[in-house]
Amino acid sequence: MTSDEADRGLHDRFQALRREAARGTPSFHAMLAPRVAPRPQPTWRRWLVVGALAAVAATVVLTLGRPRPHRATLVDRAAVRWEAPTDFLLRAPGAELLRTIPTFTLNGRLLP
């Protein structure tokens, strides 16, 4: 079977379906006629749901948005001396001479 024949076969099947559907097509004017409106939901039920959702939302907002009491945080600065990993680069040979007071002695005795 060639491709054209196969296409024709499919086309014929679809056209048979089309003829079948056409027999059951409702009238255009009947379709535009207003249908029986669906029963409206009671308003109080909608408001009940809206109220419940609003209450939940308000609770969440109040819970999350409430300012929390401020707690002082004590830090022992002496215990948390921080040292940068590159500090050693700043250490120059003999730098301790610049940070200490030299002592002078005479015959083993410390001069005042």
Partner 1 sequence: MPPHDLAAQLEQLHAAAFGWALGCCGWDRPVAEDVLQASYLKILEGRARFEERSSFRTWVFGVIRRTAQEARRRAALRRWLPLARLFLGPQEADGRPDPEAALAHAEETARLVGALGRLPPRQRETLHLVFYQDLTIAEAATVLGVTLGTARTHYERGKRALRRLLEERE
Interface with partner 1 by CB under 8 A: which residues?
Answer: 6-7, 10-11, 13-18, 20-22, 24-26, 28, 31-32, 35, 38-41, 45-46, 49
Q: Which is nearer to partner 1, 28 or 82 (CB)?
A: 28
Residue number, 19 or 71, with CB nearest to partner 1 = 19
Closest approach of partner 1 to the CB of residue 45, in Å? 6
DSSP 8-state symbol, 90 = G
What residues have CB less than 8 Å from 111, skipping those under 6 apart? Answer: 104, 105
Question: Would you state the structure tokens that stand for residue 66, as one six-digit string?
Answer: 């409430």
Query: For residue 63, is it left (φ>0), alpha (ψ between -120 and 50) or beta?
Result: alpha
H helix count then E strand count, the chain? 4, 2
- Closer CB to partner 1, 27 or 107, in the complex: 27
Q: How far is the CB of 61 from partner 1 (least distance, A)?
A: 20
Shortest separation between residue 59's beta carbon and partner 1, angstroms = 18
